[in-house]
Amino acid sequence: NAGVTQTPKFQVLKTGQSMTLQCAQDMNHNSMYWYRQDPGMGLRLIYYSASEGTTDKGEVPNGYNVSRLNKREFSLRLESAAPSQTSVYFCASSARGGTGATSYNSPLHFGNGTRLTVT
């Protein structure tokens, strides 16, 4: 089972360049998430999507945009990259959410991450 697949695995950008991180899940999950991981700060939520067609800001949304293309895919876009966006980015999905009952017990399933360096 593929689970959550992220591309690319590594990326180097120059300040001001743009790029899109791709994420797809094959578990029929309602909810999808983008986190960034920085040393000593754990994971911080950038954006999430509780269901197809909806997106919401997390803790650190500035400088990012997202698109929930369909139930499987959730992309993260950096329009004008900055050195402060150097980080490891993780996509995740869970069975939680949707327009009906929620399931707060549902764990997150993570991709293997994208290591982004902005010079």
Partner 1 sequence: GDSVTQMEGPVTLSEEAFLTINCTYTATGYPSLFWYVQYPGEGLQLLLKATKADDKGSNKGFEATYRKETTSFHLEKGSVQVSDSAVYFCALSQNDMRFGAGTRLTVKP
Interface ranges with partner 1 (CB under 8 A): 4, 33, 35, 40-45, 48, 58, 90, 92, 94, 96, 104-113
Residue 2 CB, nearest approach to partner 1 (Å): 13
Assigned token pair, 93: 């999905």
Residue among 19 and 43 whose Cβ is closer to partner 1: 43
Assigned token pair, 50: 């509780």
| Other CB atoms within 10 A of residue 116 CB | 20
Nearest to 90 by CA among 22, 45, 11, 34: 34
DSSP 3-state of 47: strand
Residue 15 CB, nearest approach to partner 1 (Å): 27
Residue among 17 and 55 whose Cβ is closer to partner 1: 55
Residue 115 CB, nearest approach to partner 1 (Å): 9
